[in-house]
Amino acid sequence: MYVDLESVPNLLVAIQQLTKGLQRALLYREKHPFTPDIFPQEWPSMFVYYEDGRTDCQPCTTACQYHSAAVDRTTKCWMCCGKHVSEATPCSSSLVHVMREYRPGELDRLHQLQETPHFHPNRATTVKFAVAIDCEMGTARNGDSELIRLSAVDYLTGEVLINNLVKPDQPMLHLNTKWSGVTFDQLNEAVRKKTTLKGKAGARKQLWKFVGPDTFLVGHSVHNDLKALKWIHTRVVDSYVVENKVIQEKKAIEAREKEVNGAAAEKMEERLLESTELADNHQSALPTDNQMMENPTTVTNGEPKKRKTKGTGDLALKTLLKKYLDTDIQNRGNKGHDSLEDATAARDLVHWMVMRRLQENYSGMV
C-alpha cells in the first residue's frame, strides 16, 4: 500500500486534535450529563429513593401534572378537586417526582412471557386435545391490563375445566365490571374463601394441567387472552382470525369480479360510441349543467358512518353467534360478560366453522 509521507505529519496532527477534542467533550459530559441544548428549560432534580437508603437524582424537563387523590366510585369525581372524571385536566402540579422502584424479579413476574412447558405434574392423564378459553381483565392502578377471571372448556366434551376468579398481581384501579362482569365484592369474597387462582402464574399453572404444547387452544381474539396470561402458545384456532380471512377472501373475489365487469363495460361502451348515431344519442341523454344545478339530489355523498358500540362489530363474538348459530349471548347489560359463556360460545363457533370447511371441501370433491 502506498502512503504519502508528506501528508502523514498533518494527519497525525489532525488525529491528535480530534483526540483532545473528544477527551474534552467526555470530561464535560461527565460533569454535565445533560447539555442545555437537550434540556433548554432547567427544572429541579427528580429524587429517586431506594429501599437500601440510597438516593439518586435526575434533572426534570417538565412539571408533573396529576390528581392528588383517587376517584369517588359513587360520584365518579376526583376527591381532590371535585371534578368529574370526564374533565381530564389535572388539578395539581409538582416539580419533584418520585419514580417507582421495582423489587428484584418483579418486572419478570409481571411482564415476562412464558411458553407452554413440555412437562407438567399430573398432566399425563389430564391433557386435552383442544381447550377453549376466555379471560376477563381489569385495569391496575398503573394502567396495566390485569387478569381477573379465567374460564376453560374441553373442546370435545364441553366439560368445564376452569372457571375461577384470579387474584390480581397488582393493586387494581377498577375491574371494568361493565365488560368483565366481575365486581370488587365478588373478587374480595373469592379471596377470603381462597377460591381464586394466584395471579397470572397460578392461572397458567392451572391451565397447563390440561394444555400441552400440542393442545389446540380455541377462542375468539385469543391474542388478548394470551397477552393477559403472559403466555406463548403456538397451536391456536381463533374464530376471529378465521372469519376475518373468509371476509377478506370474499372481498378479493368481489374486487376481481368488479374489475372484470368494469373492463367489459368499457369495451361495450367503446363499441357503442363507434356508431355516430348512438354517440349523439348518448350525448343528448346526459344532463346539462343547468339540469344538474336544478337537481342537486342526483349526486349524493352518502351518510357518515356511525360509530359502532364495543362488541357489536361484524367480527364480534356476539354478532357471529347470532349470525351463524342463531344464539344470543352477552345479554346481561351493565352486569358485563360471562367468561364461561364466551368460552363455550367460542367453542361452538369454531366447531361450526370446522364443519363449514369440511362441507366446502366435500362439495369440491363431488
CATH number at residue 355: 3.30.420.10
361 and 212 in a single domain? The answer is yes
Does residue 221 fall inside a structural domain?
Answer: yes
Where does the pLDDT of residue 265 fall: very low under 50, low under 70, confident under 90, or very high at 90 and above?
confident
Residues 6+ apart with CB under 8 A from 99: 46, 48
Q: Backbone phi, then psi, for 150, in 5-degree steps?
A: -140, 135
Does residue 278 fall inside a structural domain?
Answer: yes
pLDDT at 293 over 70: no
Report yes or no: 35 and 25 within 8 Å, Cβ to Cβ. no
Does residue 153 fall inside a structural domain?
Answer: yes
pLDDT at 171 over 50: yes
239 and 358 in a single domain? The answer is yes
Dist. CA 177–CA 138, nearest whole Å: 8
49 and 152 in a single domain? The answer is no
Does residue 241 fall inside a structural domain?
Answer: yes
239 and 354 in a single domain? The answer is yes
Where does the pLDDT of residue 214 fall: very low under 50, low under 70, confident under 90, or very high at 90 and above?
very high
How many other CB atoms are there within 10 angstroms of residue 161's CB atom?
Answer: 21
- CA-wise closest residue to 248 among 342, 314, 320: 314
In order of 114, 242, 350, the CA distances from 211 in angstroms are: 13, 22, 18
Looking at residue 338, its pLDDT comes to: 92
Higher pLDDT, 167 or 366: 167
Looking at residue 1, its pLDDT comes to: 44
The average pLDDT across 188-201 equals 95
Looking at residue 45, its pLDDT comes to: 44
Looking at residue 224, its pLDDT comes to: 95
Where does the pLDDT of residue 211 fall: very low under 50, low under 70, confident under 90, or very high at 90 and above?
very high
Where does the pLDDT of residue 304 fall: very low under 50, low under 70, confident under 90, or very high at 90 and above?
low
51 and 141 in a single domain? The answer is no
- Across the chain, mean pLDDT equals 79
For 55, the grid coordinates are 438516593
* Domain count for the chain: 2
Where does the pLDDT of residue 201 fall: very low under 50, low under 70, confident under 90, or very high at 90 and above?
very high
pLDDT at 288 over 70: no
162 and 81 in a single domain? The answer is no
pLDDT at 142 over 90: no
Looking at residue 8, its pLDDT comes to: 53
pLDDT at 117 over 90: yes
Residue 79: give the domain boundaries: 45-94
Looking at residue 41, its pLDDT comes to: 39
pTM (2 d.p.): 0.62
207 and 59 in a single domain? The answer is no
Report yes or no: 42 and 59 within 8 Å, Cβ to Cβ. yes
For 184, the grid coordinates are 370488587
Dist. CA 288–CA 44, nearest whole Å: 72
Does residue 334 fall inside a structural domain?
Answer: yes
Q: Backbone phi, then psi, for 264, in 5-degree steps?
A: -65, -40
Does residue 8 fall inside a structural domain?
Answer: no
Dist. CA 170–CA 182, nearest whole Å: 16
132 and 71 in a single domain? The answer is no
- CA-wise closest residue to 211 among 107, 133, 96, 311: 133
- Tens-digit pLDDT profile for residues 50-89: 455 555 555 555 667 777 777 777 778 887 888 888 876 8
